[in-house]
Structure 1
Amino acid sequence: MSQMPPQVATIGFTKSTAQHFFERLKKAGIKTLIDVRLNNTSQLSGFAKAADLSYFLKEIGEIGYVHKPILAPTDDILKAFKRDKGDWRVYERKFIALMESRGIETKFQPDMLDGACLLCSEATPHHCHRRLVVEYLNQKWGNSLLVKHL
């Protein structure tokens, strides 16, 4: 009997109602939300501010919450892309180099991400660092993760 590969999801909260956000997590069977934002306390985060989010996750879906800024870009990388309207390919290269320098693949194991969902703000994974994180880890771990973008 073969064991299922670790399943990890990603989600963003912008352009989503709280109801739609939490329903997607519950439907996907998420056990832990891993917040990969650098700043998780901004007023612009609405229902996704760290203290509120932790409470809502527990109450609505018995989902755990952890903040892992080691999986977030630095403020410099973020500002160059967001505020200064930088090139996505430059952002991607800089963030991948940052993950490499941090050795994130040695700080986590595939089974640690099983049933987890990586959270950031972007509505879709296309131009978002949460996708880069799971792709980077999957590449380093021999494509051992089953990834779903919620």
Structure 2
Amino acid sequence: MKLYTIGFTKKNAQRFFETLRNSGTKRVVDVRLNNVSQLAGFAKRDDLAYFLDQVCKIGYVHLPDLAPTQDMLDEYKKKGGDWVTYEKRFLDLMEKRRIEEKISKDVIDGGCLLCSEDKPHQCHRRLVAEYLNQHWGNVDIAHLG
């Protein structure tokens, strides 16, 4: 199973969509909790779905079960929480939600997990990908940026 990840910040639309189009991604799997903010620019939910279809012929799906809770986000981003605590809380949430049972492998295979963070190192999209690999096995993860 092939699984990609990408963040949209610090990328212009050309770089973002060309990277996706050239990757072989079949669909973008939006794992953001908040995906309708004007701050998201070209990655705002409805605009993104349109651009993915028209520019790349790539599908779009939003899976909020793969997003953190608002409390978790606020604690980490707004209150200056540490990554280690956030990571543990997020992985506990994925386990509690039993995402490995609820999320279809067909949606994930060939999909690209999308979040806002520029790099995957301290982003929950990496945690989701690694969690699924741990539970499903044989998930080849490629971070596109």
TM-score for the superposition, normalised by structure 1? 0.94
Q: Distance in 1 between matches of 2:105 and 2:36?
A: 28
Count of aligned positions: 144
For the aligned residues, what is the CA RMSD? 0.8
Partner of 1:114: 109
Q: Choose from 47, 53, 67 the match for 2:48.
A: 53
Could you tell me how far apart the structure 2 residues matched to 1:18 and 1:85 are? 30
Provide the residue aligned with 2:138 in structure 1: 144
AA of the residue aligned to 1:98: L
Runs of 4+ aligned structure 1 residues displaced above 3 Å come to: 109-112
8 Å contact kept, 1:35–1:119: yes
| Cα shift at 1:108 | 2.2
Instruction: Check whether the contact 1:110–1:144 (CA below 8 A) recurs between aligned residues.
Output: no
Higher helix share: 2
Deviation at 1:113, TM superposition (A): 1.4
Change (3 A) 1:35 1:107: same
Per the normalisation by structure 2, the TM-score is 0.97
User: For 1:81-118, what per-residue CA distance to the aligned partner results, in whole angstroms no more than 9, with x for missing partners?
Assistant: 01111100000000000000000000124343121000
Q: Distance in 2 between matches of 1:128 and 1:19?
A: 23
- What percent identity do the matched residue pairs reach? 58
Q: Which residue of 1 aligns with 2:36?
A: 41
Which ranges in structure 2 are unaligned for 5 or more consecutive residues?
none
Gaps of 5+ in 1: 1-5
Aligned to 1:18: 13
Instruction: State the secondary structure of the residue aligned to 2:78.
Output: coil
